[in-house]
Structure 1
């Protein structure tokens, strides 16, 4: 079956680059980028195609994705609109929707469909499952149901709304929260506070809050600024926050306890389902506490740690937990991994990794057993041990050198290590056998 062509304008950076991971197995993917050298390198590394011309990409794409900075999105839409294939569809992935939706409607021919979208997640997201995506199509053609069904097949949470409603909601979800988080980080900087020193006093909630603030302020500041400046509701929500901060400051400064409590209660009631919020935050705190406790109890033991961004798995003896770092000894190598960036492998995951990545050991073991020994039970007992992968009976002998009441059995055993094979010999001895 011929794969459809998916073109990504801006596929060498950010979300555009992330989209390659999701599309390349199902579609023929082509990308463009501002830096051709970098774009070609990314395309080669990810086994997709690179085209230097946005217009050329538009001309061959069945689905064309616009993934460029917000301030350039409408210009790129106008640039490539005349070159779109008849019967194709244009999709954009910017977080402001009024401008792109209007521009697509104005410049695209009737033979080209358009579906403005906003994937409400960042380029660090590794799975589409349960992620939110907003669709703001002002008219729906043949492509709409195909795109909708594709997103649903990935278990995404799909929201259908207007561009205007989307931008208002994102003025709360993004503009207001980003503005308040960056303001908090800026206040901490102005107070000359050493964040690492506050960690000695931190509560789990403070820990989560600082992590969320750091996540926002570490994003591309140009993107963050454009989210603030290009949302038409930005001024309104920033002014509302500034007024709320000043009001609360003045109430506390004048010592008005009753008014402070009144403001706090009204705000709390307006937050909605507090029980669910407490439940979610308790889960997050519990996960952090469990992970640290598990690692602490595993010091001196073998563990598998998976880096949540690179996907690389590190296996070794956990030497210590140094602050927020796990110190792992792999042979003669010492590795330090930030606990925030790793996931602990479950025992069955670690076992499977060993099978797939370690060189196994195979050895033939001959052992004299009583003649009535149950071979099936011996084999099943051996395979109950995780690191013993296979056991096969290859020979049975009761010639002149073997007493009539005994039999010599030879098994070929495959295990992860030499020590595991030695355990098999001990097990055979436990069954009344004598190693030959």
Structure 2
């Protein structure tokens, strides 16, 4: 199926192109900068065209991922060129205006679905992410989109364009405005953020990370989000009025007024216990991996770089608050802790299966006659570096003592030393090694 992404050379459009390419779609991206377009297409393995009309005519699914201010001109440009029976999906962060434009200009034989992915271009999976859908009409493509999103465990929110924009005035406009204001105030105070972290709790560090995530986004996009939503000005005015009211109470030493504001704000924060629980989990996730790393010094670990997806395996030799050093043979690799994920045992097993040479061994043992071969097989399978275990045969013959049972296993592993570990383990079951 052909997918065209107008504005797919960078940002969210590029991320969508990468994702849909992996899903097996034939993807073509467009963009005004031909050099960047060809570079991006080569980098992610898709096609590039500078002709929006041509791609609109060829695409079964056409995704519009352009700046909010240019949506109307882009839709006007491609309106008469869209493929009959296709679907147009926009991913802008405001929905009233794009919905009105598409309803006005697109042909009747084309379905359109105004959408808003509530995540940024750094997100690598739809799992658990929120997708807001604001359909004016629901056709065959809408049902297909719902099915696709559910198959990826996406949280789907269906609403009207106006309600979407009302909610985004809080979720995006107010949040971005306060975060950028906080970051700018810290800058004007001349404070070194890295230095503050030495004195901070996990909550502060988490907050600073969230602020950094917002302020590092494309400022043109952030500006558009502030300006294009009609609710923006009112929300910003209320925020400034609230801050002035709090400041006024502090300057007047009015403890009662400050307390009144704080309590009324708290009461409006929905279920506080749930909020505390979620924030506790966020803090625990920060500290858990650090503890895991500290306990792994001088042991082998396997980590994944969360942006490049590159896997690093080695002995953890050094660790400080920001970096770890892995050694593999004579090679040392320094990695930033914030950019890695420590793989768990099952993930390590899967990676080793795909990247280590596998070897098979036959191992014959004799056990007490009452032993259960299936239980022993399961026990061997649970050991590190063991891929598969088969029971080749069970046997009794005059060459082994009476009341003893012979069992031959075929063991597949990617670490030949693990066979010795299996032998030691089986001896603990009362086994005698009969042959290999």
* CA distance in 1 between partners of 2:194 and 2:362 (Å): 57
1:107 equivalent to 2:105? Answer yes
Task: Summarize deviations over 1:403-425 as a string: whole Å, max 9, x none.
Answer: 9999x999876533343344456
Tell me, in whole angstroms, the C-alpha distance in 1 between the residues paired with 2:244 and 2:80.
51
Question: Is 2:373–2:407's contact at 8 Å kept on the other side of the alignment?
Answer: no
Please report how far the alpha carbon of residue 123 of structure 1 lies from its aligned counterpart in structure 2 after TM superposition: 1.0
Change (3 A) 1:142 1:388: closer
1:321: how far off? Answer: 1.9
Q: Contact 2:391–2:407 (CA<8 Å) still a contact in 1?
A: no
Q: Pick from 185, 202, 205: which aligns with 1:204?
A: 202
Per-residue CA deviations over 1:359-393 (Å, capped at 9, x if unaligned) read 245568899x8999999699847555322445787
Equivalent positions of 1:62-141 (< 5 A) are 62-141=60-139
Aligned position for 1:9: 6
- Normalised by the length of structure 1, the TM-score is 0.87
What CA distance in whole angstroms lies between the structure 1 residues aligned with 2:322 and 2:190?
Answer: 23
Q: How far apart, in 2, do the equivalents of 1:377 and 1:154 lie?
A: 36
Shift in Å, 1:219: 0.8
CA distance 1:250–1:310, change in 2 (3 Å): same
Q: Distance in 2 between matches of 1:413 and 1:111?
A: 60
2:352 matched to which residue of 1?
A: 354
Question: What do the CA deviations read for 1:23-46 (whole angstroms, capped 9, x no partner)?
Answer: 232433222122223323333443
> C-alpha distance in 1, partners of 2:338/2:53?
42
Partner of 1:216: 214
Q: How many residues align?
A: 430
Contiguous gaps of at least 5 residues in structure 1: none
Instruction: Report the 3-state secondary structure (helix = DSSP H, G, I; strand = E; otherwise coil) of the residue aligned with 1:8.
Output: strand
1:225-374 aligned within 5 A: 225-361=223-359
* SS in structure 2 of the partner of residue 386 of structure 1: coil
Shift of 1:322: 1.1
Question: 90-99 or 382-391, which moves further after superposition?
Answer: 382-391
Question: How do 1:125-164 residues align onto structure 2 when only pairs under 5 Å count?
Answer: 125-164=123-162
Of 208-217 and 45-54, the range deviating more from structure 2: 45-54
Equivalent residue, structure 1, for 2:58: 60
Query: CA 1:178/1:372 → structure 2, altered by over 3 Å: closer, same or farther?
Result: closer
Question: TM-score normalized by structure 2?
Answer: 0.87
Does the residue aligned with 2:94 lie in a helix, a strand or coil?
coil
Please report the RMSD computed on the Cα atoms of aligned residues, expressed in angstroms.
3.3
Q: What SS does structure 2 have at the residue aligned with 1:68? A: coil
**Distance in 2 between residues matched to 1:411 and 1:108, nearest whole Å:** 67
Show CA shifts across 1:104-146 (max 9, x none).
1221122222211111111111221232222223333443333
Aligned equivalents of 2:31, 2:107: Cα separation in 1: 25
1:134-172 Cα shifts (integer Å, max 9, x gaps): 222333344333333333333322222222221121111
Change (3 A) 1:351 1:216: same
The match for 2:33 is: 35
Q: Distance in 1 between matches of 2:385 and 2:345?
A: 11
**1: distance between equivalents of 2:367 and 2:277?**
61
**Mapped partners of 2:411, 2:148: distance in 1:** 47
Work out whether residues 301 and 317 of structure 1, in 8 Å CA contact, stay in contact via their aligned partners in 2. yes
Structure 2 gap ranges (5+)? none
Change (3 A) 1:144 1:378: closer
